[in-house]
Each structure stands twice: as C-alpha cells, then as structure tokens.
Structure 1
Amino acid sequence: MSMNGEYLRLTTEELARALENPEWAWEFADEAQEREDEEEPAPTEARCFSTFQAWNLLDFLLRRASFPVDVVHGEEPIPNADDWGYGPPQYLTADRVHLAADRLHELTYDALIRGVDHTELATAGVYPRIWDSPTSLEWARDTLASLTEFFRAAASADHAVLVWLD
C-alpha cells in the first residue's frame, strides 16, 4: 500500500456544501475519482489530480523553497471530517489557489532541486525511500509540471481545492 497525494477542484457552492457535510464531500470525491480514472482527462480539464507517491518529495522541496501555500497538505481543515486515508482532508480557498497557481507557474523544477543532494532526502526520511542516486531527484519533475497545470486551471475557474493523503 502506498501513500498518495490527492486533489479535487471545488466550486464555491461545492466547497460550502463540503464544509457543511463532509460525508457528501467524501462521496463526491470518490465519484469524481472513479469517473476520471476511466476518462483520464488532462490536468487542465480534470477535477481530480494525484501526485501519487511524489507528494512528500514535493512537500520537502516546496518547504525548502519557502513556498507561500501548502499545496501538498492544504491549509484549512474540513470541520468534522473523518479520516480519508492518512488524516482528514483540508482545503485551499480560491484566493490561495490563485496565489499557488501564480507561484507554481513562476517556479521551475530546476530551481527547486538546485543545491539539494539526494542524501539529504534519505536523511530526512522523505517518502518513498528511493534516494540512492543523484538522478532520483528527477522523479517528480513531470508531477510538478502537471500539478502546476491543474492549479492554473483551478485558478482560472475560481475553484477551491480539497487536498488529502490516501
């Protein structure tokens, strides 16, 4: 079993409903993921996104770069939400999504990994533990590019984003 970073774009109305009824949010997320698993839309068209196991590496790199938004874990808890895998979901407001999208767009993966030694990741216990060579830092390059596209599309639609680990 692996830990995966998961995302769901929500309209203002859907976020309000999720905050009122976390069980509805769980069902809505589950249905959206099932539908998109079959359709496999591009990140710019998707309502759901996954960083899969790259979430912890991205978290490490973004924190190291003092990224202003917690795009890996979210920033606001869903009140009274149950555990969705590895804790309850959190969300980013549409304003925070806009900021994240702008900053992600300005960021390059090369800038994120500049000065990082793969042994630093092993020492920090970054999941998954695959940091045996300098080339392992390349592992999340495409994931960051797709996450950036997902956030830019969410910002364009003025959506909030629900975030959780499962």
Structure 2
Amino acid sequence: MSMIGEYARVTAAELDRATGDPEWALKLVSGWWETAGEEAQEPDEARCLDIDKAWDALGFLLRRAGFPVDVVHGEEAIADAEDWGYGPPRYLAPARVRVAADAMAELSGASLVSGVAPAELAEAEVYPVIVWQRGESLDYVSEHYERLRLFFRAAADDGEGMLIWLG
C-alpha cells in the first residue's frame, strides 16, 4: 500500500469545527473525495488534492530550501483525531496557508528540483526510495509541486485553511 499526501481546503468555520470534531471533518472530506472522483477538477478549483507519493521528496526539497511552512505534514495537530490512513490529520490555519502560497509563488517546481540528483534522495532515504535508486527523473516531484502551488494559491485567495494527512 502506498502512502499518498492528501489535502483538503476548508473555510475558517469548517476548520474551527474540524479541530473540535475530527469525525465530522473525516465525513466532510470523504464526501468531497467521492465527488472529486466523479468530476475531474483543476487544482485551483478543487476542494481536495493528492500529491501521490511525491510528498516526502517535496518535504525534503522544501526543508532544504528553507521553506517557511510545513506544507507536507501541516503544522498543527488536531486533538483526538483518529488515524486517516497513516496517522491523524494536521492543519494549517488560513494565515499560514497564505504565507505558504506567497512563498510558493516565488519558488517554481523547476527551481525546487534544480541541481538535485535522484541519488541524493536515495541517500537521504526519501520515500519511495526505490524510485530514486533507479535514477528516475524529478519531473514527477516538480509536476506535483506545481499542482500544489495552484491549490494553495486558490485556498489563500479564498482565505481558507488546509487539512493535511497521509492516506
């Protein structure tokens, strides 16, 4: 089973309720995912987004770049939340989503992966290690980052927070 980085844009009111009622949040997000499966949406229009298995590589590269927000794991825990796949969800408040979106606007996917060899990710044991051991291109990571940039920009423009988890 693969570990997939997943995101859901939430209004401030939805985030407030989610932090107090994680079961409600899981039902809300599950409903959005069901709908998303039926309708293909662009990242800037979607309520939910997954970055497939690129999450760990993005985290590694963003930390290396000194990125100001943990957009891969979230920054705040949701107390008493059940496991949503590979642990409980975390979140970013709307102000942190804006900081992230503004920083992403300054860092393209091409810049993020520039000068990085797959061997570096393999050596750092970045998930999925086997991909980097085979020497596969980082285009996969760059493409998912570009989708995430659009998703965060739309959320920031709408004043939304973000639920983040590994599913």
TM-score by length of 1: 0.96
Give the whole-Å Cα distance in 2 for the aligned partners of 1:141 and 1:111. 9
Q: What's the CA shift string for 1:28-62, capped at 9, x where partnerless?
A: 11111111111111111100010011101101110
**Amino acid in the other structure paired with 2:29:** A
Match in the other structure for 2:148: 147
Match in the other structure for 1:58: 58
Deviation at 1:132, TM superposition (A): 3.6
Alignment of 1:1-166 (within 5 A): 1-129=1-129, 130-132=131-133, 136-166=137-167
Give the whole-Å Cα distance in 2 for the aligned partners of 1:22 and 1:132. 38
- Root-mean-square deviation (Å): 1.2
Mapped contact 2:3–2:166 kept (Cα < 8 A): yes
Give the whole-Å Cα distance in 1 for the aligned partners of 2:35 and 2:161. 20
Give the whole-Å Cα distance in 1 for the aligned partners of 2:43 and 2:110. 21
Q: What's the CA shift string for 1:78-117, capped at 9, x where partnerless?
A: 1110111111100000000001001111102232223322
Q: Secondary structure of the residue that 2:102 maps to in structure 1?
A: helix
* Structure 1 residues not aligned, in runs of 5+: none
Give the whole-Å Cα distance in 1 for the aligned partners of 2:70 and 2:80. 21
Q: Secondary structure of the residue that 1:57 maps to in structure 2?
A: helix
Deviation at 1:138, TM superposition (A): 1.8
Q: Secondary structure of the residue that 1:155 maps to in structure 2?
A: helix
Give the whole-Å Cα distance in 2 for the aligned partners of 1:115 and 1:136. 12
Runs of 4+ in 1 over 6 A off after TM superposition: none
Mapped contact 2:113–2:142 kept (Cα < 8 A): no
Give the whole-Å Cα distance in 1 for the aligned partners of 2:134 and 2:111. 19
Q: Secondary structure of the residue that 1:71 maps to in structure 2?
A: coil
